[in-house]
Amino acid sequence: MGYAIVGIGTWFLVSDLHEGVLSNSSENRFCKLAILLGYTWLIGHGIWLLIGSSHPYFYDVLLHTFFLGFAFSMIWGHAPKLLPLFLNLRGTVFYDKLWWGIMVFEFSLASRMVASILEIPPLRKVFVVINGLVILLMFIMLLVGLVAKVRRMKETNYLIK
């Protein structure tokens, strides 16, 4: 299974790598970078399946490389564009402060994984807390962007009917 996951993640990464990262739009760069980071976490998940089975934190690293690294990177990469669509609104909820959120999220998750692999429980706990707070903060930032968008659309009467 590890080989298959590494293969799938590599295929996604290579096939998506050439599009969007060098875009002129900050929003497109943000979305594409988050998605590419998600593919990277998926590859890391597959590698960990292959090499980490005897490690004391095997399941911790295994679960969090997939569900936080891969899944949440995909959520951050798609949410600015898809969230308004689900609510029948035009446009996106992207704004530049989301860059800070994803940078801290990825750094704290990578640090958490390193602390787990090196078996440093106190450092791991610190990054667990930071990771959880950043996830909460990212959802709040997306909701704030969404509320601001709805207010602007009501003022200009651009809501889709």
Each residue's pLDDT tens digit in the chain (161 positions)? 999 999 999 999 998 876 656 667 888 889 999 999 999 999 999 999 999 999 999 999 999 999 999 999 999 999 998 988 888 887 788 888 999 999 999 999 999 999 999 999 999 999 999 999 999 999 999 999 888 888 877 777 655 54
Give the residue from 98, 100, 103, 126 showing the smallest Cα distance to 114.
126
Q: Which two tokens stand for residue 33?
A: 């970078």
Res 136: pLDDT: 97
Mention every residue, 6+ apart, whose C-beta is less than 8 A from residue 66: 41, 42, 45
Res 91: pLDDT: 79
Please count the other Cβ atoms lying within 10 Å of the Cβ belonging to residue 3: 11
pTM: 0.89
Rounded-to-integer distance, Cα 123 and Cα 111, Å: 9
Res 40: pLDDT: 97
Handedness of CA 130, 136, 139, 144 (dihedral sign): negative
Is-contact 120 111, C-beta < 8 A?
no
